[in-house]
Chains A and B, each alone.
Chain A
Amino acid sequence: MSVLAQQLLLGLLLGGLYGLAAAGLSLVFGVLKVLDVAHGELIMLGGYMAFFVVALLGIDPFASLLLVLPLSLLLGLTLYWGLFGFVVRADEETRVKNSLLIGFGLALALHALAVQLWTADERSIVTPYGGAVLSVGGLSIPVVRLVSLALAFALIGGLHLLLARWRWGKAIRATAEDWQAALLTGIDVRRAYLLAFAIGTALAGAAGTLVTIGYSVSPSIGLEWTLKALIVVVLAGLGSMIGTFVGGLLLGVAEAASAAAFGGPYREVVGLVIFVVVLVVRPRGLFGR
């Protein structure tokens, strides 16, 4: 029993990262109506940024977020100006399809680039307190993963506040709701797109940092994380960042439960099956229109 509880707990801790990974994708998809399947590769890049920041500056791994966040924000701005800014000019149906294709090309190119630059080896950040464990009622909680979960939640909460209070946050939400109406009320829709994409990329960078600290990064993690983020977005729907985070926690727990029931290798399958079923039952998919 306590083994099962332990597994579910670890699933919950991992689920926080799923939620964070999905939040960026959800924001970009909800606002730009652009499906960026290179989101997992952006997470991967964030992971490498964190790895090198820690290796070169020797600072605390969690403090590397202070550098990785702005760097990822810049990466997002560059990608929007260079690529996705062209995609949003098309009508909505072409937009989703083209963004899928472009994201796909970007994912392949970034993966190949990462293999060239950093080899295909797995890397992770070793923390001095990496082995520390909290024992609570027979359960052991790895401190690093607990801090990661807390940080993920803090970032999601911060994003929620940003979208609710900040002037441009409101503009982003208005654009997501109805971009034509937003345009008519004088909102610079292109600017809202740019901001949403950059913030989405920054969230991917943060997720990558936490993944590299708690687990590991390699050039090939992209597809897996894109799928996780997609599953959570489908589960949680669009519009609420807190909802997305809860969806991530649910996926983490569901995976752990299925691993306990059917054996470890099938943990990936269960999430994907949920995903396909939800998609087919709601054929209009994520919008639910």
Chain B
Amino acid sequence: MTGLLGRHERRWALAIVGAFGLLALLPLAVRRDDVLNFVFLILLSITLAESWNIVAGYAGQVNLGHAAFFGLGALVARTLWIGGTPIAVGLVAGAAVATLFALLIGVAAFRLRGAYFAIGTLALGEILRTTVSNVLPEISTLPAATIAAYRLTERYYLALALAAISVLAVAGLAGSRLGLGMRAIREDEEAAEASGVGALRLKLTALALSTGLAGLAGGLFAFYHISYYPSHPFGPHWTFDALLMTFIGGVGTLHGPVLGAVLYVVLKEFVALRWVDFHLLIFGALFIAIVLLLPGGLVQAGERFARWGRL
């Protein structure tokens, strides 16, 4: 069974990374900034969704405070970068801070089970957001020299690299002993403990991996935007977006969050031309329908469809 799952996921990983390879050629073929910005948004969303998918989809812990780690990554990377540190160092430092913070709170937060973990982390995210908006109320804008040297393609390739890393990380996890242990916890924590899986250790590992990637994504956000309020990346909508994309695509699968992210961003941008935030009405309703009727998301729908085709 594991072998099968591994092979299945390897094939998807190859297909997705192949698609990323094609996207790497895009800036050579298309010189339009709007196209690159659009694909950038999809890539950032894929990274965010996959990072959330690790802790929620594989380890089964619905983290509603994910934005806190995205925000911490952005805060640290931006501060260091504007201070003169190379962005690569800023990104790594941001991810490190996000992970450390996650491990620190994880020990306490994982005493909570199921829905209590979810609302506890939601509160934690809001604590951080409110505090940051109080301490740093001023908008953060890049210095003029940095704006003059701004190259969109750099950001684009960084986004592509991070999306590839997150997909490969999930693919590696899905086929590994570690990932198997996480899924065991997701299905039944007591039974997993009883068969020798160290639940707390594995949950912390999942959280560390998930928040590290979220921190990197936050750093990318800080590198990409010319000006934004420091509390913006801490906003709960980042968590909600990741959750919607992951669930609609297929939670706990490799390719589900990728499909979800593409669909989400395409529809969001398309609808936003006419109505602000209308996409949330569509996705909110779709999400409810999926939780009730199709817990495996679009991926499950696709598999059912394929099975009918074979009959």
Contacts and interface: CB of A to CB of B under 8 A. Distances in A.
Given A100-B62, A109-B280, A115-B277, A266 B120 contact: no
B20 interface: no
Contacts of A35: 115, 119
B279 to A, nearest CB: 8
A105 B275 CA distance: 19
Contact of A269 (B131, B247, B287, B292): B131
Interface in B104-126: 108-109, 111-116, 118-120, 122-124, 126
A151 B251 CA distance: 45
A283 B285 contact: no
B109 A265 contact: no
B284 A285 contact: no
A102 interface: yes
Interface in A81-117: 83, 86-87, 93, 96-102, 104-113, 115-116
Contacts of A107: 284
A22 B144 CA distance: 50
Contacts of A93: 114
A280 B288 contact: no
A223 interface: yes
A151 B281 CA distance: 34
Given A101-B291, A223-B236, A109 B281 contact: yes
Interface in B200-234: none
A102 B292 contact: yes
Interface residues of B, number: 40
Range for the number of chain A residues in contact with chain B: 35 or more
Interface string A265-289: 1101100110110011001111000
A205 to B, nearest CB: 21
Contacts of A276: 120, 123-124, 127
A227 interface: yes
B270 interface: no
Nearest to A286: B116
A210 interface: no
B79 interface: no
A96 B115 CA distance: 6
Nearest to A285: B116
Contacts of A105: 284-285, 287-288, 291
Contacts of A86: 292
B135 to A, nearest CB: 9
A111 B281 CA distance: 8
Contacts of B134: 263, 265-266
A265 B135 CA distance: 10
B115 A100 contact: yes
Contacts of A230: 119, 123
Interface of B: prevailing SS: helix
B130 interface: yes
B194 interface: no
B240 interface: yes
Contact of B112 (A97, A116, A266, A283): A283
B243 interface: yes
B101 interface: no
Given A112-B278, A265-B134, A266-B134, A104 B112 contact: no
B5 interface: no
A286 B236 CA distance: 24
Contacts of B281: 108-109, 112-113, 116
B284 A102 contact: no
Contacts of B130: 265-266, 268-269, 272
Interface in B254-294: 275-281, 283-285, 287-288, 291-292
A109 B285 contact: yes
A284 B285 CA distance: 31
A87 B291 CA distance: 10
A93 B60 CA distance: 13
Q: Which of B109, B127, B243 has the most CB of A within 10 A?
A: B127
Given A97-B118, A269-B127, 11 more contacts: A102-B291, A105-B284, A111-B277, A112-B278, A116-B277, A227-B122, A272-B124, A275-B123, A280-B109, A280-B111, A283-B111
22 contacts: A35-B119, A96-B115, A97-B114, A100-B119, A102-B288, A108-B240, A108-B281, A109-B285, A112-B279, A112-B281, A112-B284, A115-B277, A227-B123, A230-B119, A230-B123, A269-B131, A272-B123, A272-B127, A275-B123, A283-B112, A284-B113, A285-B116
Interface of B: 62, 108-109, 111-116, 118-120, 122-124, 126-127, 130-131, 133-134, 236, 240, 243-244, 247, 275-281, 283-285, 287-288, 291-292
